[in-house]
Structure 1
Amino acid sequence: MDEIKGKDRVILALEKELGVQTGQTQKLLLQKEALDEQLVQVKEAERYHGSPKRELPPGIGDTAELLGVQDQHMDERDVRRFQLKIAELNSVIRKLEDRNTLLADERNELLKRSREMEVQLKPLVEKNKRMNKKNEDLLHSIQRMEEKIKNLTRENVEMKEKLSAQASLKRHTSLNDLSLTRDEQEIEFLRLQVLEQQHVIDDLSLKHVVETFFGFDEESVDSETLSETSCNTDRTDRAPATPEEDLDDTTTREEADLRFCQLTREYQALQRAYALLQEQVGGTLDAEREARTREQLQADLLRCQAKIEDLEKLLVEKGQDSKWVEEKQLLIRTNQDLLEKIYRLEMEESQLKNEMQDAKDQNELLEFRVLELEERERRSPAFNLQITSFPESSPGALQLFCRQEGVKDVNISELMKKLDILGDNGNLRNEEQVAIIQAGTVLALCEKWLKQIEGTEAALTQKMLDLEKEKDLFSRQKGYLEEELDYRKQALDQAHLRTRELEDKLEAQRRHLKELEEKFLFLFLFFSLAFILWP
């Protein structure tokens, strides 16, 4: 962007220099045209005054001849001077035209490079739009994932309720499914009572206890004590609580311990009664089957305990679930704020672009107006001719013009009187009288024509001053608009930089959000797998 701004400034400088050079070229062309007109006027005057001089009488002919020779020398000098000046002006015009072409080529090259830079910036703008669209898609996908999580948690709760209901139904229906014989009914009833007690113990200890169908032995006591200690450790390993919660926990723990002891005594008594009944009936045939089931249940218990330990370690490493959920929500909010900021900046950018376009259009209109004024000035008559204004008290415009040209011996008023006297002289021929009268008339008309030129020159100078004032006004307005255009361009560049910074920040937030989504997906899969594998 800095390079583009530098190139724009170079283009503006070259355009200004090109305008100055064109103005100088036009002024030189005007001077050349004025000199050509003066040269033509001198030649016409020489051609016009050449014929009457040969018809004058000898006395007056010498003076006229001297005047003609002096005028001829002066005209030749003026012609040579004008020719030299015209040659110089032609060389200057050629140089300026060469310079103008070089500047035009540089301007075209810079315009071409600026268009190439705009083409290079176009993919970045499109990439910004694609990133915004992708961000919106990610937000929608996050919302869908949250809805899926809610649905899965609800289904999980429903499945747990169904499983608990099925377990209770199984327990209640299993009490009714007894065998026909009395001994087998008593054995089955005692077995179901043992299972009921075992379920109560499991509910209290929150751990899986090995279910056995044998008498009370050391291995069963060890399993029960292990379940009790694991339950206690699970309770103590939780997060620290307040003093009131500690009191409630201690009371509930004491009640649970008392109940647990009572149930273990009942459980042991039932196991002894069950063993006695098996000895009486001779139920040693089922010992191998029960041993196999016991070993299988112990293996399942060990496997579940290992899974529980792994899950606890993983939760400790990953941290609390609520923490990263809060971080995710915070990132979503910041992402939305960034999107709003980007939208506001894009609106400001579009507004600045519209204002800059309006300023450019106004600048082009002013440039067109300046060119119009310059063209009108070029087509108007030459204002730089040094035509002297003659006061009313002067002896005459023609007399002053002769004095300015170096002819001081001629008095126009006396010459007019002499011409009138000679015109009234009867000794002269008719042709001579006519020539003298015509010369007097020409002199009078020349003086009248010079007065008209003076008036025209005053009006044109006034018009030229008005046009110069208008041109200065347009130039100042153009400079003000160019400054405003530069300011708008700087504001637009700052908006582009701010947009780029926000895009970088948004990209970083998006990467962070992607990492959190990966973590969330991993934890979701992990807990889903744990829920599926949980016995």
Structure 2
Amino acid sequence: MSKKGAGGRAKGDKAEAFAALQAANEELRAKLTDIQIELQQEKSKVGRVEREKNQELRQVREHEQHKSAVLLTELKTKLHEEKMKELQAVRESLLRQHEAELLRVIKIKDNENQRLQALLHALREGGPDKVKTVLLSEAKEEVKRGFEVEKVKMQQEILELKGAKRQVEEALTLVTQADKIKAAEIRSVYHLHQEEISRIKKECEREIRRLEQQLDEKDARRFQLKIAELSAIIRKLEDRNALLSEERNELLKRLREAESQYKPLLDKNKRLTRKNEDLSHTLRRMENKLKFVTQENIEMRQRAGIIRRPSSLNDLDQSQDEREVDFLKLQIVEQQNLIDELSKVTGGLYARPPLERDKLLRYRKQRKKMAKLPKPVIVETFFGYDEEASLESDGSSVSYQTDRTDQTPCTPDDDLDEGTAKEETELRFRQLTMEYQALQRAYALLQEQVGGTLDAEREVKTREQLHAEVQRAQTRIEDLEKALAEQGQDMKWIEEKQALYRRNQELVEKIRQMETEEARLRHEVQDGRDQNELLEFRILELEERERKSPAINFHHTPFVDGKSPLQAYCEAEGVTDILVPELMKKLDILGDNAVSVCCSPDLCMPPHAHARHPARPRPPALQAPPVLPGALPRAQARLQRDPWGMGDAHSFLLSFLCPSGPLLRAPQLLQPVTPPVTWSSSLEFLSFCSSVPSLGMGLLFLDTPRC
């Protein structure tokens, strides 16, 4: 009953352990799914942060390009100012040279006049005074007339040059004032953009730093929790292992003490098993000898009945036969008693206590000394050494010789008996040889069928040895149970120790499985990181390819009459039933619902465009990005802060937020007038916008990855 109860408890423990193992497995699976979900979320967050970072870097790059363009314009204005200054210096130098030339010409003419006056005085001195005065007056008038003409011409040229100088100075002042005003405007816009860029950079860096810190804290917290759980489990297992090791050491000590206590009993048991085997062999020999003796007795009686001897020797033969028969009967009775005793000994040897065993062993030793059996002669056979056959032959020969030696001296009957005995032995020898040859042939056939060597004697010995070991183990178990019963202990604690040992082994196996699972998860995380790095490298390649592609030049042209660029373009293209202010009001009414309306696939319609922009196939190298969730409100906010007055153009730009597939808009806002046009990529859309001059600067504030 105790064994059945222990078996039931063991089954219950196994069921509980199996249920606990299943629960732990489910918990580990749930934890694994949570970890995978967190990993996917972290991957999406990291991808989102990287996309925002790349977007900010792209915007910074565009602002740097704008900054370089502004610097280029400033350099051009400086160069123009320097050229104007050089031109003014050249003009002033030319005026000075002209005035110096005029003074030189005037001096030359004065000298000529003085020379002519000198000549005239000389002529006057040589002629009459009247002629002299006439000539002098004429010469003076001519000289004065010519001088007046030249002087008027020179004065007119001076006035013209002064007027031209004044005009040039006025134009220069106007140009310099316009350039200064434009430079001040550009400088203020540049400072505003720089402040916005620095603010956006700081916000982005702060957000990235915060996200990285959150990710690091989450990873550290998760790994700390996992390490704490594993350390707690390992600590529990170590405590349980220590307890089990202590109990195992105690059990080993008790086992050693029990072995030291029961070692003499085990030795006695081994000696008894050996003696039992010897007794079994002697029993077989005695049985064979008894059979042989009974057969000889029967043969002797038959011979005694057949052979008739003379009356003188008849009494002697009868007395000898009677003595021989009596001796054989006595021997048979002794052998029968010995067989009964041996059967009793072998039957109740292991069921008796050790004291009775010792008594029986001593009695058997005495009987063995009394028997004084001769040493058997070993006969070699094909299967090995046959002791039984040798004992049979030897016992028969010994008994026959002893029986014959006890008789009287030889007679003619003795010679006849000896001749018959020789014939019988020859016949037996022939039969044995024939049986031996048949057994050899059968053994050879058996080896051919089996395909290997077969040693029957070895198998018998191994079987007997295993049987003896089983008997020894059974006797040891019984002795240990008796010892435990004497000490007042039960077998339950042994079963509990075994159950704890099995539980410890299961937990160790579970820890190994968890370690393998952890290694597999680490390998998957490493694979995810490698894939992430490959995707980042692919993104960098795409950015490099877009950067190497030809740049798009945006032109800004002012519009008058308070019209938006899109309205002017629609009117230029002949589309008269689209009113941009009304669409702006409707979009303001819709608000954030415009995103869902514009992005629903059932309510999507392409915007109207000119027929000179047909749909083209998608280039294989560019992939259209998805629409960012916050792109629409950011575009609205930035377009409202547009310094160039492009706030009315965002109704046109909002319809291009989805560059992949058909461009979207609300069906209840616009009605189709011209055939629909779709853009397969963002580069095609940008090329279209660059063809419209009024859309250039408005695209600078569109918050999408491709624009």
TM-score under structure 1 length normalisation: 0.34
Question: Higher relative contact order by CA 8 Å / sep ≥ 6: 1 or 2?
Answer: 1
Larger Rg: 2
Name the one with the larger helix percent: 1
